[in-house]
Amino acid sequence: MSEVTKGYVKTDIHNGVAVIEFSHPAANSLPSVLLNSLAHEINTAAIDPEAKVVVLRSSGEGAFCAGASFDELLAITTEAEGRSFFSGFARVINAMRTCPKFIIVRVQGKAVGGGVGIIAAADYAIALEGSDVKLSELTIGIGPFVVGPVIERRIGTVFSHLAIDAAMWRPADWARKKGLFAELHPDANGMDESVQRLADKLARFNPQAMSEMKKMFWAGTEHWEELLAEKAAISGKLVLSDFTKTALEKLRK
């Protein structure tokens, strides 16, 4: 089995809480097959009457998400293929944005690139200390174009600090203070208790009220289907550069 076909996305619904989990052996990175599955599961939960609230998490005790699959990036040979790959991140963000149910994201470890975008697209993110964040795209010759709008919406102009100083990890407490994380916990038990507490409470609240609140929170993003598609095309072109191919090969060694 190739790296780009490994991993899984699964959903379990219990007492109104839909838990969507994604997993990949390479630090929970996201090849296109997982991106498409993740968007599908979020869209399915959005219309499932049994799901009142969504918890999005990754597997294991290590990284939350290492972002794009380097193996798949190296395999891209045309702008169309590049646009298609980065459109996967756009679909996930738009699925989270348009889901009428609140999405809680559980962050148990470090996040890079697209993983930071997923956190920023959460309606409420609960994290573990040590869940540092980094936007490393510029180091490999591209940029955080697709995830940029949702990260900037969440943390404001300091998004540019992350995007420019692309080799620097920002501590989890920095992310909390900037608004990326709503809560930061010193241990996994405390994090999971808080996730469960909030999810259980939201599952008992009025779904219509929460849906209307979500529309309010995401007001002004109605054009994102087109916007993120445009950003995917930019990344899809840049990923073909010699700079990017060389940088990715070095990182794989």
- Does residue 17 form part of some domain? yes
The whole-number pLDDT of residue 251 equals 81
Phi, psi angles (nearest 5°) of residue 208: -65, -40
pLDDT at 3 over 70: no
- Does residue 204 form part of some domain? no
- Does residue 201 form part of some domain? no
State the Cα–Cα distance between residues 123 and 106, nearest whole angstrom.
Answer: 11
E-assigned strands of the chain? 8-14, 17-23, 53-58, 103-107, 111-112, 124-128, 133-134, 183-185
- Does residue 212 form part of some domain? no
pTM: predicted TM-score of the whole model, two decimal places:
0.96
Mean pLDDT (whole number) for 202-225: 98
Which residues are within 8 A (CB) of 112 and not within 5 positions of it... i.e. 6 or more apart? Answer: 63, 65, 66, 67, 133, 134, 135, 136
- Does residue 195 form part of some domain? no
The tens digit of pLDDT for each residue in 32-90 reads: 999 999 999 999 999 999 999 999 999 999 999 999 999 999 999 999 999 999 999 99
Q: What whole-number percentage of the chain has pLDDT above 90? A: 95
Rg (CA), the chain: 17
The whole-number pLDDT of residue 190 equals 98
pLDDT at 216 over 60: yes
| Total of domains in the chain | 1
Mean pLDDT (whole number) for 231-236: 98
Q: Quick one: pLDDT band at residue 223, thresholds 50, 70, 90?
A: very high
pLDDT at 222 over 50: yes
pLDDT at 5 over 80: no
C-alpha distances out from residue 8 to 24, 30, 84, Å: 7, 10, 20
- Does residue 138 form part of some domain? yes
pLDDT at 13 over 70: yes
State the Cα–Cα distance between residues 53 and 201, nearest whole angstrom.
Answer: 9
The whole-number pLDDT of residue 2 equals 52
Residue with tokens 């994090």: 191
The tens digit of pLDDT for each residue in 150-206 reads: 999 999 999 999 999 999 999 999 999 999 999 999 999 999 999 999 999 999 999
- Does residue 194 form part of some domain? no
Phi, psi angles (nearest 5°) of residue 15: 55, 40
Mean pLDDT (whole number) for 195-221: 98
Dihedral sign (CA 155, 183, 13, 38): positive
Q: What is the DSSP letter of 170?
A: B
CATH code of the domain containing 64: 3.90.226.10
Phi, psi angles (nearest 5°) of residue 25: -65, -20
Domain extent for 54: 3-189+222-252
CA atoms within 13 A on the CB side of 195: 27
The whole-number pLDDT of residue 1 equals 43
State the Cα–Cα distance between residues 182 and 122, nearest whole angstrom.
Answer: 10
State the Cα–Cα distance between residues 44 and 40, nearest whole angstrom.
Answer: 6
- Does residue 215 form part of some domain? no
